[in-house]
A and B are shown apart, each in its own frame.
Chain A
Amino acid sequence: MTRVLLMVGTKKGAFLLESDEARRDWRVRGPFCDGFEIRDVSYDPADGAIYAAATSPWFGPAVFRSPDLGETWTHSSEGLTYGDDGPKLTRVWSLTPGHGALYAGVEPAGLFRSDDHGASWRHVEGLRRHPSTPNWMPGNGGLILHTIVPQPDDPQRMWVGASSVGVFETTDGGETWAARNHGVRQDYNPGPPAEVGSCVHKFALAAGTEQTLFQQNHCGVYRSDDGGANWQEITGSLPTDFGFVMGAHPRDPRTAWVIPLTTPEHGRLTPDAKAAVWRTRDGGGSWQRLANGLPQENAWLSVLREAMGVDSMERPGVYFGAQSGQLFASADEGDTWREIASYLPQIASVDVAVLAD
């Protein structure tokens, strides 16, 4: 039997929701990692474990691991440090499995790698050796490394994104990194566009491609067909150029989802108090508004950068959560929606895994 597992990170712990392949009825469990703020929850198909990026106001940052879908949890911070002489590591923000390892993005921005299922970590030092590091500036959410995208066919190649620094790519397993922000607007920068200082919010690799990337930035939506070397703006008919999430289709490289929000000056909320997801079927050439089943009245939703997930079912499901605690699900690529949880704590992240018994 196929099961779909939704993993939700909130300000007050992690929650798990489980459904069958119809994705209509969901059983909610939680909170897990009690007392910790959870910024990301990931499932690693290599070991069948769930990992949570956690930070406690008292006990600091840690990565939690559950080997049994939430029944039991352990945690570790061993090696999650820049050293006693380095900057204090304040938060674990993102977790991504890839090439047999688990990667963690942290604040202040940096990348860590675990080769023992999260029991211990080592700093991928090459990224912070980039000559631009002294100029890295935090965004509203902090100086965070929030996006980690391994190239599935090349264990030496990976992209990461940090706010408000930009996209970086390595092709040598993390030893050296190159900034990949050419063509992205920096409207807040009075000078000429800089190599870094790009406020990337989220990006994703188009399915089955070696290097086509979709990006939601502070200043527009973009696509790159050359691994980030050059970005073309595809904001097009979207109602605003601002938003946080970026969802990519699991098989169709031309399909992606975004949630446009009002600009920071106007609150980062769903425009006109109507919730809507927008989908492109042609690589960003055009966009379709999807709102069937979403609230269209008095709906001032704030959806953060990790708070969208896309499953890998034959007809992919799309999921997103709001800071006001509502969780929405679509089992038909966004054509129709249902509210599947209404009163969760502030939602920071939504991830999804398809489990086959």
Chain B
Amino acid sequence: MADVRLPGNLVDLFPGTPRRLELPGGTVREVLASLDARVPGMHDRLLSAGPEIREHIKVFVDGRQAELATPVAPGSVVHVIPAVSGG
């Protein structure tokens, strides 16, 4: 199980969702699929067609920026981070 940390402005879109979850998956793609299974609709908020991680979303595994294929080991910490953007 991965230790998944979600940003506040994301969980605000899904009332009742905690910012920290334990989710299964051996890659970032599988962890995000588990997240969507737990909280339907998360896939569309984090991934665009391709599928690809949205342009202004970054995922880190144990402190290193990750792609969908990046391996996730049991106990890994997966951070989902909205980029600093806007105006």
Instruction: Out of A35, A60, A76, A85, name the residue touching B48 (CB < 8 Å).
Output: A60
A78-B41 contact, Cβ under 8 Å, with A59-B13, A59-B46: yes
Which residues between 71 and 95 of chain A lie within 8 Å of chain B, taking CB atoms?
Answer: 75-78, 80-89
Residues of A within 8 A of B (CB): 34-35, 57-60, 62, 75-78, 80-89
Residue among A57, A84, A85, A86 with the highest chain B CB neighbour number at 10 A: A57
CB distance from B15 to the nearest CB of A (A): 9
Binary CB contact string for chain B from 1 to 28 against chain A (1 if under 8 A, 0 otherwise): 0000000011011000000000000000
Contacts A57-B86, A85-B49 supplied; 7 other A-B pairs, CB < 8 Å: A34-B12, A35-B9, A60-B48, A62-B44, A77-B45, A78-B41, A83-B49
Contact B54 A60 (CB under 8 A): yes
Q: How far is the CA of A34 from the CA of B10 in the complex (A)?
A: 11
Count contacts on B: residues with CB < 8 A to the other chain. Answer: 19
Instruction: Report A-chain residues with C-beta under 8 Å of the C-beta of B49.
Output: 81-89
Residues of B contacting A: mostly: loop
Q: Which residue of A lies closest to B40 (CB)?
A: A78
Instruction: Report A-chain residues with C-beta under 8 Å of the C-beta of B63.
Output: none
Contact B41 A76 (CB under 8 A): yes
A59-B48 contact, Cβ under 8 Å, with A75-B41, A77-B41: no
Residue B57 lies at the interface, judged by CB distance under 8 Å to chain A: yes
Instruction: Out of A35, A77, A84, A85, name the residue touching B44 (CB < 8 Å).
Output: A77
Instruction: Report A-chain residues with C-beta under 8 Å of the C-beta of B54.
Output: 58-60
